[in-house]
Structure formats: structure tokens, C-alpha cells
Amino acid sequence: MEVVGELLLSAAFQVLFDKLASSDFLTFARQEHIHSQLKKWETQLFNIREVLNDAEDKQIASSSVKLWLADLRILAYDMEDILDEFNTEMLRRKLAVQPQAAAASSKVWSLIPTCCTSFAPSHVTFNVSMGSKIKDITSRLEDISTRKAQLGLEKVAGTTTTTWKRTPTTSLFNEPQVHGRDDDKNKIVDLLLSDESAVVPIVGMGGLGKTTLTRLAYNDDAVVKHFSPRAWVCVSVESDVEKITKAILSDISPQSSDFNNFNRLQVELSQSLAGKRFLLVLDDVWNMNYEDWNNLRSPFRGGAKGSKVIVTTRDRGVALIMQPSDNYHHSLEPLSDDDCWSIFVQHAFENRDIQEHPNLKSIGKKIVEKCRGLPLAAKVLGGILRSKQRDNEWEHILNSKIWTLPDTECGIIPALRLSYHHLPAQLKRCFVYCATFPQDYEFRETELVLLWMAEGLIQPLEGNKQMEDLGGEYFRELVSRSFFQQSGNGGSRFVMHDLISDLAQSVAGELCCNLEDKLKHDKNHTILQDTRHVSYNRCYFGIFKKFEALEEVEKLRTFIVLPIYHGWGYLTSKVFSCLFPKLRYLRVLSLSGYSIKELPNSVRDLKHLRYLNLSRTAIERLPESISELYNLQSLILCQCQYLAMLPKSIGNLVDLRHLDITYTMSLKKMPPHLGNLVNLQTLSKFIVEKNNSSSSIKELKKLPNIRGTLSILGLHNVADAQDAMDVDLKGKHNIKDLTMEWGNDFDDTRNEQNEMQVLELLQPHKNLEKLTISFYGGGIFPSWMRNPSFSLMVQLCLEGCRNCTLLPSLGQLSSLKNLRIEGMSGIKNIDVEFYGQNVESFQSLESLTFSDMPEWEEWRSPSFIDEERLFPRLRKLTMTQCPKLAGKLPSSLSSLVKLEIVECSKLIPPLPKVLSLHELKLKACNEEVLGRIAADFNSLAALEIGDCKEVRWLRLEKLGGLKRLKVRGCDGLVSLEEPALPCSLEYLEIEGCENIEKLPNELQSLRSATELVIGKCPKLMNILEKGWPPMLRKLRVYGCEGIKALPGDWMMMRMDGDNTNSSCVLERVQIMRCPSLLFFPKGELPTSLKQLIIEDCENVKSLPEGIMGNCNLEQLNICGCSSLTSFPSGELPSTLKHLVISNCGNLELLPDHMPNLTYLEIKGCKGLKHHHLQNLTSLECLYIIGCPIIESLPEGGLPATLGWLQIRGCPIIEKRCLKGRGEDWPRIAHIPDIHIGGN
């Protein structure tokens, strides 16, 4: 049941009052002769605001009052839109009369004569348009006032606004103690450690603590030791098997590729879990049918005995699908009142003695009874009351009518609604806006604050506090009150508990929605005209039909694309031509992640726009008309890799506060007059140009409020060092991450002395946390780098500063965790100066990298520091391309976990003896080092050996915990000695070993091995002599010219000789660049196979004959097989989803029965004549390239599902597909993204 809140409305009213009281606005209103009308509005609004308290109480029992409040809320939105239109027109006229008065005060406006501002044609048009809108608002406001009297609403005691002050609490969600769940935890842990039941469902209503209980079990010491790997995935309402699989894989293997193909995802996950005793958590599962569950758990089947999956769900039916036996379900019951009381006390009486407040204790006990055993309710209510001292405040909570509201279908209980009721007005509006997001959407503080600002939910206060800082306080207060909580994935992301999300949606009603959720539950695809905020989950193809529901919502304020899908998406151009022109009240527009190359000039019509996010798009340049968006606050262009230019008139965007151009590699120059943007807070990159005053570093002097990340590029173009002083970086105390970069061309135009002065004068503030200095041409580093006052510095990178011969005293930076020294060709010695005079140097350092140091000869430790105390927390040490570095590394690195030594041939053993070392990479190093690996590093889990030309054998059997082994470029290696491979091995790669002739016979006995890669071994004649590891999931063979054939039944081999199709678990096979390979063996492929890639095997004449016997193949790539003429039986498996056929010049015909195919690429098939594309009813993406004799597209047209079409190098059908006039154009016109020839 939606309840319109008094505080929500009163906050909206306060915004209106502030706008109406603005001195600039009053001057403009008088000149436009609307001052008296607006004064009447103000009086009526004041009278209405006085009765809001009474209306909020009465709406619970009166639907008429509730409707009155809803109408009032919409009216407040519409009034704010009109006042914004006046403000926008006022600013436009200012800039037209005096362009450089961008951020001028109201005095400038008052000096402009009325005759200059009222009679231009555009002004007359504006006045006529606004006249009718004012008349409409006046009529509606009078109706609201009349109904107020009819409803008997009266002024009641109490204020209508709440003065809010930030509570001095932490911004991070933190539960120091969990109450009442010890028995539950012990039962779950016992189930996990037993050999019984692979799936353990935890069932209960939302807010009971299912997730908290699961965390307790998941992090129990015995559980942590028992399982590896472990992964946690929040499933939420939509049980998308592909998304869940991707999330599990990402958690288990963070370095895994971002696959867009479901088959590759499942194969990779299966390989990651095979043979391991894993623990997976599927948290908050709302729906799961048996087929989806069966598909999802397919990769789990190869896990070791004892592997477990914990499922948390509200729905017992879901639990029964995933675990049919009730015996293993754990039904979570409400807490006892005593346990709820403990939680309540933990939050309400923190740092207070409860015995000193007997009355509050008595009232609190009664309040806790209302929580109905829900721990979340106890926590939230405790948070509300923690700052309330008086008995009547607690009794008001206890006696509030809101407790009597029935629970809604979405699970909002009175306790949670009450916690919302007691939020300050400012926080209410900010919280309700979050109903725009779907459940479980993860957001960052900075992202949300910018959206709040754009919607006018954060109003500047008196004094110097920036809106961004105020918004940060709002955000952290919502965290402290448990409306937001830190994501289980850690880092800087937050999420709303699903009950809290339901609460936001309940209060917002139709004002906010997620388009997918709305379309899923509304078969008519209708969105009410009162909707103001919409989010959309980006998918691969944005087909216009999905957006048609928005065409009637003309007063939409928010349209934000959410990055649910992480690849690029393709958006139909009709969205720009047909939809956005109707949405003239947009304040927030995000099209992040779409392949958009340009915006139309009509973007200027979005006059209200304050937030525009084009990040990760293909945009090349912005239209100049974007500079007419005078209200724009945030322009997000990060990761726009093709963006080459910013609008020349961007200086007109006088309200712009955030210009994010991070990772815009094609952007080489700055627009003029950037210094006009005096409100700018974020300018992630500034490029200094030579002899260009518009791009002078002095422009930064005019931007006093810059904060966050700043990269200053092209510093070699600063001719006068005094300009660097004028920038006053030391005074910009909010810059946390600073990059200073000179040019990487050290020619005769470089001035070493000038660059030294420039860097000396660019001293940042001591608040700096991250610093990068690149290609600096001075001979010494500045004095300020030796200053220990930079105590907040955690990351430092010095790269390409090749004239420097000494490193600064970095050991004195007490918080430094990550240090990278790269390309410092002038450094010959690192000694005492590097450490400084402090015996506690580098006490926090965790990662140290030296790379590309061609002249470095010696690394000496200071004598006054005990070697045991050097680098006590160092976990990763990387030494790359230091060919002259002689001697030994520091011997005592007790915390080291990862060591990389690459092309450091003069380093001599022993390497540091570290029991904790898990990863070791050695490339082109001293051969003596290799002989000591097994003796010195027996705890290794990963080993990579490369370019060790003289190595003839490897004995690694003593490395009993080794899981990953890579051997590359070892030309002297003839074979791996037996026994050479530990049985723990999971991944084996042998590449570029030109003389290796055979693989170890024991390969078949590696029971844990799931992936094998063999490449560029030209003398290898046979790779399948005695069978494969029984759990092998992935096989890749490439560049092995000596292999002529694969033995019969090769994919079904097991070490026990049981050659049955069902015995093989192989899922992914790649055979590439094996020119001597002539044929595949007869027989069926294994049913486990999901992906088959055959490339550049030009003598292969046919595919495996048994390919049709495989009912699970999903991806097939056949490339560069010029002898291939047809497919077996002329068909391919109906399960295929992804098919690529490239450079198979003799292929004449494609199969047509592939109902599940979504991606088809046909390239360089010059003999291909016929196709049956109309039968591919699931096709989404189609490429036809270099097929010159294809004459036409099918008469029945292409599938309606198609979202992308590219045709190139096919002259006949290119002509037929010309836009508007080609014979085949009607057959493709419905496709969102079409590329014909070069267009």
C-alpha cells in the first residue's frame, strides 16, 4: 500500500520555496510580469504545507485524502519543472547578452536592461508557451486548495520539516555481534562438513536473517578450511542461469575472460570446479524451475565428494526443486523477543548504560514485541531511537498508527515503514529515488550522489559545503541506518536489502520503476503518465519496441541504463528520433555501454538535463548543441575510446561540476575556455598544448574546486615554470589521485631544468593518496617527494623518468602499499637514499615492482636496518627486464606470496626462501635458479618457467601442492622427466618448446587436471598415446605442424581404457594451425562437448562424422579449412547457438535447421550460393562478409529477433540492401543496427 509522506512533500515544497525566493528569479519574474502570480502560488503552497501532517495521518483511513496527497505530489513535480524552465531561460538570456558572465552573480542580471531581454522573437515564443503552463498550474493549485477545505484538513502541532544533522557513525555496514543464531549456525556447519546432501536450502521470509546466518556458516573456520574454492552469488528475482554462471565464475576465477557465450561460461566454470571440494552460496533465490536448475548445476557435477551448495530463499517450492528432501531444509524461524531485544539494544543503546534509562527500557521492550522476531526491524528501529532521549519520543514510536498497516504483498512490514517515516525529509526523497533501481542492484556512493544532485534532491546549504559533500553525508547516514548496506562482494559498492527495496517501491508507487520489472508484470506494457523515474537493464540489442511504453510518459525525469549486461549493447536509432524528443523534462539520461557513435543536435531540447552519461560508448564527438544544456551538472564520458574532441563552446555549461574523461585515449586536446567552468569538481584529464593559451596549464588555476582524480598530460609543453606555480595544486586539498605526465619523446626540445622547476612547483596537497609521475625529463625528483607529511599516500608509480639517477626517499611514506618503478634507465644503484633514515621504512608496502631498468646494477639494503625488518608486509615482488642487476634479492621477505623474475639473468641464487610463497614466475633467468625450485619453494601452487633455453629436464614431483604449470620457450627441453608432474596439477601449458618430442606417459594419471594447452611444438608427433586425464574439461592444441592425425576414439579416452561416449567429460576443444592434420577419427563426439573450434587446418576435408550424434554442442567455429566442402549429412546439431564459418572457400551450402542459433558469421566463403536464414528463428546477430555469389536475402525476410546485421564484400546483395531503394531493404528495415558495405 503506497503511503504519500508528509516529509517527502514538505521537502519538495521547500525546494519550490527556495526557487521562488531566489533574487535572480525574482528579478526575472518582475521583468516577465509574472511576479504577482508566483506570489499567489507561494501563499497557497504555504497554506497547504501547514496541513500535511494532518493529511498524512488521515490518509491511512481515507482514500480521498490519499488521492489528494498523490495529486499534490504530481503538482509539486510539475511546478518545479516550470520554475526550472524559467531559470533555464533566464540563464540563456544572460549568456546571450554577456557570454563570459557564466558564473556571475545576480548583480550582472540586474544590470541588463529589460528592453534587452523581453522582446526578442524567441523571448515572445517562450512567454506565450509559459503563459498557458502557468494558467494550468494555477487552476490545479486552486483545485487542491478547494479539496483541502472539503476534506477538513487542519493545521496540527509539529513541524513540517526536519533539521538534519549527520550522526557521527561509520559509513560501512558492520555487525559486531550476531544474536540468536548459534544453534542455526551449528546445524548448517554440520550439514556442510558432512558427506550428506549436496544442496542445503535455508528457507524463511525476508528480513529474518537468512543471509546473515549463511555468512556465519560460510566464514566459519572449519568451513573455510574444508572447502576450496568458495563463491557467493546473489541470485535475486530473475533466475538467469547465464548470469548466475558468470557470477560464480567471476568469484572463483577473477582473472577469467569476460565470456559472452553461455557455453564458454559453463565450460570454464566446470573446469574451475572439477575435482575440487567447493562451496557455493546462491543467495536470495526467488524462482527456479527444474530445467533452469538442471542447467545451472551441470558444471557442479565434476566437483569432489562433499561439495556443497547453500541456497537461501523465501519460497519453499523453490527449495524443493533444488533439494527434494525436506530433511535437509533449514527453516529459519523468527528470533525470540530476547534475541530481538539484544539486537535492539546493540543499536539503540550503543555507548549508553541501559540501566540508567529504566523508562526507555520498558518502552523499548514493547517496541521490540512489535518487531515480530524480525532482526532487520529490530536493527532499523534501534538505529532510529539511538539519538532519542525523551520518553515521549519512544512512546510516539510505540503508539504510531503506522504499526497497524497491513503487510503488503511485497513484504513491507509496519516496522520498516515506520523506520522510513522517521527519516529526515532530505533523506526521504533520496531514499525513495532508489526505487528506480531493481532489487540487488549494486551502486557506488559517487554514482548515487550525482543522480540525487541532478534530481534536485540535494540543495546547497549556507557556508562552503559542496553538494557532493552533503550528498556523501546523506548516503553515509542511510548506510548507518541500514537502508543501504555494503555489497557482499566488498569494495566500494552498496546494495539495498530486498525488504528495504520493497519499502522504497511501496512509498514511491508509480513515480519510479524498472522497465524490465514493469513489462514483466504488466502484459499491456503500460507505464502511468505520473511516472518520473525509469531504469532499464541494458541488453545486447535495444529494440525500439521495448521503449514504446515510455512514449506517453512525457514528463519523465530519469532514464538510466543499468550495466546488468557487461558487453557493448546496440541501440536502435529510433530511440533518438522518436522517443527522446518527447521526453523534454529529462534530468538524468544514461546510455552507458551502448555502441552510440553520435548524438543528434536535438539534444539541445533536453533543457532540464543535469546528468548525461555516455560512458563506454563509441561516441566520436559531441554536437556543439550540447553546450546549450545550461543546467548540465555531470557529463560522464569515461572509457569513450573513440572520443576525439569536446565541444568548443563547452565553457557555456556554467553549472557543470563533473567532466569525467577518464580513459579517452583518442582525446588529444582540450576545448577553449575550460577555466570558465568555475564550479567544476571533476576534471579527470587536462592536456597541456604547446603555444595554445586555451590549453595552458593556467586554466587549472581557475578551477579551485577540483577533487578526486586528476591527470595532467603534456607537461613538457609548459614553457614558463611560473605557470605551474599559479595552478596551486597544493591548495587543491580534495585531489586524491594525481597523474603528472610529460611526453615520452626525449628529443632536443626538452628542457631539463625547466621540467625540474615545473615538477617542484606542482607540489600537491598532503591529502594525496595516489601519485603517478610519467616521462619526467628532470635529473632529480622534487624535494617535496621526500616529505614524510604525505602520510596518506598509498600508491606511487614512477615510470619513464629516464634522466633521474637517484630514487627519492620513499621508505618514509608510512602508508605506502603499492610502489611501481618502471623505465628508469638512469638508475644504476638503489641504496640507502631509497629507504630514508627511518628504521621503520616501507612498513606498509604490500606490492613492489621494478620493470624495464636496463642500467640497474646493484640493490643494497641499508646497514642500519635489520634485514628482518625490511618489507615486513610485502606480498608481491615483481622484477622485470633488469638485465644488469647482479647479486641477490633481499633474503628475508616473510610475507611474500607472489614472486616474478623476468629477464634478470644476472641475479644469482638463492632466491628469498619464503615458506608462504604460492606463485613463482621465472623467465630468461639464471639456470641455477631452476635447479633449486623444488628444494626452496615446496609450497608453490603456481609455477611459470619461460625462455630458459638451456633447460633439458624438469623434476617437479616434490611440489606436492602445485596446481598450475606453464613451460614456455624452453628450446632445450626434450621431454618432461618422469616422474615430473605432481598429481595435484590442474592446469598444464607447454608452449614454444621446439625440441620436445613427446608428452609424459603419466599425463593420464593426473586426476585433478582440467585444462591442457599444447602449442608451437613442431616436433611433437603424437599427443594421445595413452589417454587423457579423466577430468579434462578443456583441450587446446595449436601450431603443432607434426601432428598428422588424432587417434581413434580420441575424445573418449580414459586411463582405464573404458572408451564409452559417456565416460568423457571434455567440454571445449580447440585445434588450430595444424596444417598436417588430415582427418578426424570416426565415431560420435562426447555428449559433454559444448564447444568445438577448428582453425587453419587447411587439409582437413571433413568434420568429425559423429558431430550429429552430439546433442549438446553449442558453439562451432570452422575457419581456414579450405578443403572442407560440406558438413556430415548436410546438417549440424540443433543445439547450436553460435556458428562461425570463415575462409572455407569450397563450402557451397549451409544447414538450415538450427532453431537455437543466435549468432552466425559467414566470412570468405566464396563458393557459398544458398542459405535458409529465414528458418533461424532465434538469430540475433548476423555477419555476411566476402561471399560474392550470394544473390539475395530470403523472400520471407530475416528473423524478427535480429538486432545486428553486417553485409560487406557481397556486391550483389549490398546493392539490393541499399536504404530506402534496394529490393531487399523492406526485409531488413526492422533491424536496429544495420551495416551495409562501408555504411
Per the domain annotation, does 1088 fall within a domain? no
In the structure, what pLDDT confidence band is assigned to residue 113 with cuts at 50, 70 and 90?
very low
Is residue 102 predicted with pLDDT exceeding 70?
Answer: no
Higher pLDDT, 280 or 978: 280
pLDDT number for residue 436: 92
Tell me what the mean pLDDT of segment 829-847 comes to: 86
What are the start-end ranges of the H helices in 882-1024? 927-931, 933-936
In a shared domain, residues 188 and 260:
yes
For residues 811-834, b (16+ Cβ closer than 10 Å) or e, as one string? bbbbebbbbbbbbbbebebbebbb
The DSSP 8-state label assigned to residue 985 in this structure reads -
Residue at a domain's end among 450, 477, 507? 507
Is residue 605 predicted with pLDDT exceeding 60?
Answer: yes
β pairing state of 1068-1072 and 1034-1038: parallel
Strand, helix or coil for residue 9: helix
Higher pLDDT, 97 or 1039: 1039
Q: Nearest CA to 19 among 78, 75, 83, 79?
A: 83
Distance of CA 1060 to the CA centre of its chain: 44
Which has the minimum average pLDDT: 336-340, 703-707, 960-964, 1102-1106?
1102-1106
Q: How far apart are the C-alpha atoms of 165 and 178, rounded to whole Å?
A: 29
pLDDT number for residue 576: 73
Is residue 403 predicted with pLDDT exceeding 70?
Answer: no
pLDDT number for residue 106: 38
Per the domain annotation, does 124 fall within a domain? yes
Which has the minimum average pLDDT: 262-276, 367-381, 897-911, 1129-1143?
367-381
In a shared domain, residues 319 and 348:
no
Higher pLDDT, 251 or 770: 770
pLDDT number for residue 71: 87
Per the domain annotation, does 218 fall within a domain? yes
Per the domain annotation, does 1010 fall within a domain? no
pLDDT number for residue 526: 61
Which has the minimum average pLDDT: 408-422, 742-756, 936-950, 1093-1107?
408-422
Does the model's pTM come out above 0.85?
no
Q: Given CA atoms 789, 792, 798, 801 in this order, what sign does their dihedral have? A: negative
In the structure, what pLDDT confidence band is assigned to residue 105 with cuts at 50, 70 and 90?
very low
Which has the minimum average pLDDT: 239-253, 798-812, 1058-1072, 1191-1205?
1058-1072
In a shared domain, residues 301 and 357:
no
Task: Give the C-alpha distances (Å, rounded to integers) separating 793 from 446, 788, 811, 813, 815.
Answer: 21, 10, 12, 7, 6
Per the domain annotation, does 798 fall within a domain? yes
pLDDT-above-70 percentage for the chain = 85
Region for 1039 from its dihedrals, namely left if φ exceeds 0, alpha if ψ lies in -120 to 50, beta otherwise: left
The neighbour count for residue 136, using CB atoms within 10 Å, is 12
**What are residue 583's DSSP bridge partners?**
none
In a shared domain, residues 911 and 793:
no
What is the per-residue pLDDT across 500-523, written as a single tens digit (0 to 9) for each?
787 888 888 888 888 777 666 555
In a shared domain, residues 828 and 790:
no
Tell me what the mean pLDDT of segment 814-842 comes to: 90
Tell me what the mean pLDDT of segment 1006-1032 comes to: 85
In a shared domain, residues 771 and 830:
no
Note down the domain range covering 896. Answer: 805-915
Residue at a domain's end among 331, 357, 375? 331
pLDDT number for residue 279: 93
pLDDT number for residue 161: 38
Q: What's the burial of 638, exposed, middle or buried (CB within 10 Å: 0-12/13-18/19+)?
A: middle
In a shared domain, residues 135 and 193:
no
Unique residue bearing C-alpha cell 526467488:
286
Higher pLDDT, 976 or 893: 893
What are the start-end ranges of the H helices in 274-424? 290-296, 316-322, 337-348, 358-369, 375-385, 391-399, 414-421
In the structure, what pLDDT confidence band is assigned to residue 1048 with cuts at 50, 70 and 90?
low
pLDDT number for residue 840: 75
Is residue 1239 predicted with pLDDT exceeding 80?
Answer: no
Per the domain annotation, does 1011 fall within a domain? no
Is residue 1207 predicted with pLDDT exceeding 50?
Answer: yes
Q: How many CA atoms lie within 13 A of 1005 on its CB side?
A: 9
Is residue 1124 predicted with pLDDT exceeding 60?
Answer: yes
pLDDT number for residue 732: 93
Tell me what the mean pLDDT of segment 1138-1156 comes to: 86
Is residue 1014 predicted with pLDDT exceeding 80?
Answer: yes
Higher pLDDT, 845 or 1060: 845
In the structure, what pLDDT confidence band is assigned to residue 656 with cuts at 50, 70 and 90?
very high
In a shared domain, residues 320 and 366:
no
In a shared domain, residues 57 and 98:
yes
What φ, ψ does residue 1185 adopt, rounded to 5°?
Answer: -135, 130
Unique residue bearing C-alpha cell 593518496:
769
pLDDT number for residue 115: 41
Residue at a domain's end among 150, 167, 195? 150
Tell me what the mean pLDDT of segment 476-498 comes to: 77
**What are residue 1205's DSSP bridge partners?**
1182, 1234
In a shared domain, residues 369 and 440:
yes
What is the per-residue pLDDT across 354-401, written as a single tens digit (0 to 9) for each?
777 888 888 888 888 877 788 887 887 787 787 787 888 888 777 754
In a shared domain, residues 108 and 196:
no
What is the per-residue pLDDT across 190-200, written as a single tens digit (0 to 9) for each?
999 988 778 99
Domains: count for the chain: 6
Q: How far apart are the C-alpha atoms of 344 and 334, rounded to whole Å?
A: 15
DSSP 1057-1088: ----GGG----EEEEES-TT--BPPSSBPPTT
Assigned C-alpha cell, 446: 559517487
Per the domain annotation, does 985 fall within a domain? no
Q: Nearest CA to 653 among 103, 23, 110, 97?
A: 103
Assigned C-alpha cell, 495: 546494495
pLDDT number for residue 110: 41
Per the domain annotation, does 94 fall within a domain? yes
In a shared domain, residues 817 and 712:
no
Higher pLDDT, 392 or 637: 637
